[in-house]
Structure 1
Amino acid sequence: MHNHWIVDLDFDEDEDRTTCTAKLSGFSAPGALGVGVARRSPDDTPDSTVGEELAAARACSDLAHALIDQAADGIQRRTHESAHLHY
């Protein structure tokens, strides 16, 4: 069996904050998403690249945790026992 999922990253920025939403797409991709935020320190000069990188990393991490939680829920539904998955 072959499956292919794509992670789509969507950014929203203002002067002080960058928000990224990471969402899976593709045939049979689970409905999971993650959100990450990067805030600029008032002492820093604006740099959208750094904000995007940090927000994207946090969104992908949040997405990974959401997928692990979904997998644990699936295991528990099938086995009727607590699943202990590690991050």
Structure 2
Amino acid sequence: MTHVKRGMFAMKEVILYMRENCCLCDEVKVLLDLLQSDHEFEMIEKDIESDEALLQRFMIEIPVVEIDGELLYYKEIDLISLRERLH
């Protein structure tokens, strides 16, 4: 589990694996932005094209969201599934 220390508690870290000019990635980013108002987490965007290993791993799979080590692929990502994993 990856958490970022903020004050007295650890904040969850959510990683969005994406690439520039990807409309599906933009949709997932909007969902995550919406959830940040109710759930405290740090969102980190990782452009897979800036890292050869990430590019090979996620080339046609993006967007992918990682929460507490669990990967969610695009077909699994919706507001409800993200909310459940952020609890």
TM-score range, shorter chain: under 0.3
Higher relative strand content: 2
Name the TM-score, length of structure 1 as normaliser: 0.24
Structure with larger Rg = 1
Q: Which has the higher contact order (CA 8 A, sep 6+)?
A: 2
